[in-house]
């Protein structure tokens, strides 16, 4: 997915950054009057100011409805071979990602909802239900794959909390924007912040998961702490990391990779071994850890849960669903 040079369609740096005001998170909390929201039990004093306690509940009870057809990927592989372009375009960014301060972590829920809200990730997770663990396969568009135990909550719970208006059709999710700690965000030809989106039907599908942990522990920064999306039937780039904003909208979001190259990385991005990426085959995948190549499955093996979402959507060209 690497885009090495600034291409002609790239945004100017000023366009990418000038409209954003970067408040230090603690200042942001103070500005938002967070200490006055009656959340004192979730907050502990640090230097005269409040810092939220980390998300609790690890290891979470495993939901046995989600089983694997392969071994769990060794933890070291899944946590040191990661895609997080905010910290660089190589897979080896895990050390750099430690600069990300994930506690406190303010999340905004806005757009077409009855009541917009801003709350700390820990408070949000406490509101939307207890953590559970799920074993999911993960298939990157680059044809590597892993199988990991995520801890988190169904995304449908957040949708319910947000109480979207009837006009809302999509959920857009956005990653933090802070070039002072994320060197990749200084590369202005990328359309930061990283954005992804789902239809509300997808977001409320039982599989869509907001993960806060992995391997029975809190999420490491490089895997998208403190809160990331996991949509195991779609290529991995849909699973946006370190989410700060959930926006309900009536317009189909244009995601980060789609803005860069919509012919190669589309909105739907459902896994299909029979629809090749324009530059490589999607028939097989290399498993992190063992390095074994195995056949890729339609919807990454989750067709039973999700195929119905797309019935009749593109009667003349259903290939649109798979890139
Ligand atoms: N989210 C953000 N914010 N930035 C990214 O670069 N990469 C995506 C996705 N989410 C990415 C992201 C891609 S391409 C993949 S395959 C998965 O994260 C990888 O998740 P992992 O590193 O935890 O395996």
pLDDT at 106: 98
Task: State the closest ligand 1 atom to the C-alpha of 196, by its place in the atom list counted from 1.
Answer: 1
pLDDT at 1: 67
Confidence tier at 23 by pLDDT (50, 70, 90): very low
Ligand 1 site residues, Cβ closer than 6 angstroms: 82-86, 140, 175, 194, 223-224, 236-237, 239-242
pLDDT at 54: 83
Distance of CA 224 from the midpoint of ligand 1 (Å): 8
Share of the chain above pLDDT 90, in %: 81
Q: What is the DSSP letter of 74?
A: P
| Pocket-testing residue among 137, 178, 185, 224, ligand 1, by greatest number of atoms within 8 A of Cβ | 224
pLDDT at 187: 97
Domains along the chain?
A: 13-322 (3.90.420.10)
pLDDT at 93: 97
Confidence tier at 322 by pLDDT (50, 70, 90): very high
**Beta-carbon-side half-sphere exposure of residue 263 (alpha carbons within 13 Å):** 2
Confidence tier at 25 by pLDDT (50, 70, 90): very low
Distance CA 59, CA 147 (A): 17
Distance CA 228, CA 261 (A): 23
Average pLDDT, the chain: 87
Distance CA 291, CA 112 (A): 44
16 has a pLDDT exceeding 90: no
């Amino acid at each position: 997915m690497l885009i090495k040079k600034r291409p002609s369609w790239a945004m100017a740096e000023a366009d990418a950054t000038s409209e954003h005001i970067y408040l230090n998170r603690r200042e942001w909390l103070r500005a938002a009057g967070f200490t006055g929201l009656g959340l004192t039990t979730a907050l502990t004093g640090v230097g005269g100011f409040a810092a939220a306690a980390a998300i609790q509940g690890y290891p979470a009870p495993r939901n046995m409805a989600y089983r694997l057809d392969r071994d769990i990927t060794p933890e070291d592989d899944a946590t040191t071979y990661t895609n997080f372009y905010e910290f660089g375009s190589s897979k080896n960014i895990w050390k750099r990602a430690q600069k990300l301060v994930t506690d406190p972590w303010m999340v905004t829920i806005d757009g077409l909802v009855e009541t917009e809200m801003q709350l700390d990730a820990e408070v949000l997770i406490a509101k939307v239900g207890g953590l559970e663990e799920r074993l999911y396969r993960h298939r990157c568009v680059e044809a590597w794959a892993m199988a990991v135990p995520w801890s988190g909550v169904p995304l449908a719970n957040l949708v319910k909390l947000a109480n979207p208006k009837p006009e809302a059709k999509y959920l857009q999710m956005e990653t933090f924007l802070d070039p002072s700690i994320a060197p990749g965000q200084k590369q202005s030809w990328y359309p930061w912040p990283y954005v992804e989106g789902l239809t509300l039907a997808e977001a409320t599908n039982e599989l869509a998961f907001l993960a806060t942990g992995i391997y029975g522990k809190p999420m490491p920064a490089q895997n998208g702490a403190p809160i990331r999306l996991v949509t195991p039937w779609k290529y991995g780039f849909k699973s946006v990391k370190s989410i700060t904003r959930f926006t309900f909208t009536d317009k189909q979001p244009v995601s980060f990779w789609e803005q860069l190259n919509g012919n190669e990385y589309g909105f739907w991005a459902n896994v299909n071994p029979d629809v090749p990426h324009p530059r490589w085959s999607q028939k097989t995948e290399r498993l992190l850890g063992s390095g074994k190549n195995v056949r890729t499955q339609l919807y990454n093996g989750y067709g039973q849960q999700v195929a119905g979402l797309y019935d009749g959507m593109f009667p003349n060209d259903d290939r649109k669903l798979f890139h």
